[in-house]
Amino acid sequence: MAIARRRIDLAEGRAALAAWQAAVGQETAPGAPPSRAVLATAVRYSLEELTARAPGNSVEVRVPPFGVTQCVEGPRHTRGTPPNVIECDAATWLELVTGRLAWSAAVDAGRVAASGLRADLSELLPLL
């Protein structure tokens, strides 16, 4: 199975993720929110990392408006809406990726929309 070529430089992606963590990690003295560019780069980098760790086409992960990827081995869909879709906002996605939020807690709170039998990333997250 071919792995998709990365579009986000690894160092740039890691730096964006670290900048996001620094911005949101200051619970007692919140700093400025991360810029849209930092948010976009962090999301796109983490989606590429997910695909690199779990290549495949059976699950589509959507983080609008920043990115979408297909991952996890299994039956491939070719047309229309895929049977296994996960969608959430950027902040929720990055919290899942960094371990600030557990998969089950996000699903229970309605912060993640997950449909389909394979739409469960609990074994893959957090990435870091």
Q: What is the pTM of this model?
A: 0.90
- The residue ranges of the chain whose pLDDT is under 70 are 1-4, 26-31
CB 101 within 8 A of CB 95: yes
The first and second tokens of residue 55, run together, are: 């290549």
Residue 64 phi/psi, 5° resolution?
-70, 145
What tens digit of pLDDT does each residue of 12-41 get? 999 999 999 998 876 555 567 889 999 999
The first and second tokens of residue 70, run together, are: 């297909």
